[in-house]
Amino acid sequence: QVQLVQSGAEVKKPGASVKVSCKASGYTFTSYGISWVRQAPGQGLEWMGWISAYNGNTNYAQKLQGRVTMTTDTSTSTAYMELRSLRSDDTAVYYCARDRSVGGLGWFDPWGQGTLVTVSS
């Protein structure tokens, strides 16, 4: 079955970086994109960006430009999201999700289980 499995929870200090992984299985990785979505405690869903697993093209949310980098490793069917210069308001659960459009601009199915990133001094 199609599945996305994310890396474990992280605790980081302000100013540090975090890199979350998302390993895909059950489908042809390069036929879809991966979007990243985060959810702060008790809040709604915030789209962070998208990467094509086919050619590595990306599209990032404007508010995160310059701090976020999304990459893929097609040899292991894994997507990565790195967020730098962490602040307390980056504390959230981070989700990866398969984007059903190869060019981006699709719906998300399925989702990974989520990775809690806590930023605290």
Give 76 or 113: the residue with its C-beta nearer to another protein.
Answer: 113
Q: Which is nearer to another protein, 43 or 74 (CB)?
A: 43
Q: For residues 29 and 120, what is the distance between their CA atoms, to the nearest angstrom? A: 35
Q: Which stretch binds another protein (CB under 8 A): 9-17, 22-30, 41-49, 78-86?
A: 41-49
What number of chain residues touch another protein (CB under 8 A)?
25
Q: Which of 9, 28, 45, 66 binds another protein (CB under 8 A)?
A: 45
**Cβ burial, residue 107 (10 Å; 0-12/13-18/19+):** exposed
φ, ψ of residue 42 in degrees (nearest 5): 70, 10
Q: Least distance in Å: CB of 55 to another protein? A: 17
In this structure, the strands spanning 115-119 and 10-12 are: parallel
41 binds another protein (CB under 8 A): no
